Structure 1
Amino acid sequence: MVTTGDTSERPAGSSAADRLVALVAVLVPSALAAGTLTALVVGVLLTDVTLFCRSLGGMLVAVLLVAVPARVRRRRRGRPAPRIALARIENRWVTHGEFADVPVRFDLTVAPDDAPAYRVIISEPVNLVDLADWPEGRTVVVTYDEGEPWQVELDRRPTDEWARRAAREQVGTAPERTRVKETKAGCACSAVLLGVVAGVLLVLHPYWSELESRYGDEPPAPGAAGPVVPGPGSGSRSGSTTVTTVTGSASSASTLRTGEMRRLANTLVTGMGTEMGTRVTIEEKVMSAVGSKGFSADAGFPMSLRALPYELLPGLVDTARTGLGVDTPESWRVDITTEGAGPAPVVRVTVSGHGKSGYLLADAVGRITERHPV
Structure 2
Amino acid sequence: MPLALVRGFLTGIVTGTTLCAFVVGIIIEYVPLIITGLGLPIAYGILLYLAGAPRRAREAKLAPVIALAKIESLRAGGTETGDIPVDLVLTVVPDGMASHRVRITHGINLVDIPNYRPGDVLVVRYPPDRPWKARVVERPSPEWERRAAEAVIESAPESSLVQEPPEGCAFGALAVLGFLLGAALVLSLFRAELFAPEAPARTEETLSSVTTSSSGSATVNVDRSLLGEGELRRAIDSLALAADVSQVITVVVEDRRLTVVFAPTSAQVPRFDLRALAVDRVPALVRRATATIDVGSPRTWQVMIVPFGTAVSSRVIVTGPGGSGSLADGG
Give the alignment's TM-score, normalised by structure 2: 0.52
**What does the per-residue CA deviation read over 1:69-99, in whole Å, with 9 as the maximum and x for residues that have no partner?**
877889999877697999xxxxxxxxxxxxx
**What does the per-residue CA deviation read over 1:94-149, in whole Å, with 9 as the maximum and x for residues that have no partner?**
xxxxxx869xxxxxxxxxxxxxxxxxxxxxxxx9x949679xxx9879xxxxxxxx
Q: Match for 2:199 among 176, 200, 205?
A: 205
Q: How far is 1:203 from its partner?
A: 6.6
Distance 1:16 1:165 in 2: 26
Distance 1:346 1:277 in 2: 13
Q: Match for 2:131 among 143, 157, 166?
A: 166
2:237 maps to what in 1?
266
3-state SS of paired residue (1:336): strand
**What does the per-residue CA deviation read over 1:344-372, in whole Å, with 9 as the maximum and x for residues that have no partner?**
3221112233463322112xxxx2x2xxx
Q: How far is 1:316 from its partner?
A: 0.8
1:279 maps to what in 2?
250
Distance 2:181 2:4 in 1: 26
3-state SS of paired residue (2:297): coil
2:279 maps to what in 1?
310
Distance 1:130 1:301 in 2: 97
Q: How far is 1:193 from its partner?
A: 8.4
- Number of residue pairs the alignment of both structures matches: 243
Distance 2:17 2:3 in 1: 28
Q: Match for 1:353 among 317, 320, 330?
A: 320
Q: Which stretches in structure 1 are left out of the alignment for 5+ residues? A: 34-61, 87-99, 103-126, 142-154, 211-238, 370-374
Identity of aligned residues (%): 22
Is the contact between residue 242 and residue 272 of structure 1 (CA under 8 Å) also seen in structure 2?
no
1:289 maps to what in 2?
260
2:94 maps to what in 1?
none
1:222 maps to what in 2?
none
3-state SS of paired residue (1:14): helix
Q: Write the mapping of 1:25-174 to structure 2, written as runs, cut at 5 A.
A: 25-26=21-22, 29-33=25-29, 62-63=30-31, 65=32, 130=87, 156-157=105-106, 160-162=125-127, 165-166=130-131
Distance 1:170 1:307 in 2: 82
Aligned CA distance change for structure 1 residues 280 and 205 (closer, same or farther; 3 Å):
same
Which amino acid letter does the alignment assign opposite residue 217 of structure 2? V
Q: Which moved more, 1:67-76 or 1:344-353?
A: 67-76
Q: How far is 1:320 from its partner?
A: 1.5
Q: How far is 1:8 from its partner?
A: 8.7
**What does the per-residue CA deviation read over 1:233-264, in whole Å, with 9 as the maximum and x for residues that have no partner?**
xxxxxx9523222233xxx2321121221222
Is the contact between residue 20 and residue 186 of structure 2 (CA under 8 Å) also seen in structure 1?
no
Aligned alpha-carbon RMSD (Å): 5.3
Distance 2:326 2:170 in 1: 85
Q: How far is 1:192 from its partner?
A: 8.8
Which amino acid letter does the alignment assign opposite residue 279 of structure 1? T
Distance 2:168 2:22 in 1: 33
- Is 1:244 equivalent to 2:218 in the alignment? yes
Is the contact between residue 26 and residue 34 of structure 2 (CA under 8 Å) also seen in structure 1?
no
Structure index of larger Rg: 2
Q: How far is 1:309 from its partner?
A: 1.6
3-state SS of paired residue (1:241): coil
Which amino acid letter does the alignment assign opposite residue 105 of structure 2? R
Is the contact between residue 280 and residue 337 of structure 1 (CA under 8 Å) also seen in structure 2?
yes
Aligned CA distance change for structure 1 residues 208 and 347 (closer, same or farther; 3 Å):
closer
Is the contact between residue 221 and residue 258 of structure 2 (CA under 8 Å) also seen in structure 1?
yes
Is the contact between residue 21 and residue 186 of structure 2 (CA under 8 Å) also seen in structure 1?
no
Q: Which stretches in structure 2 are left out of the alignment for 5+ residues? A: 60-75, 79-84, 92-99, 108-123, 135-161, 205-212
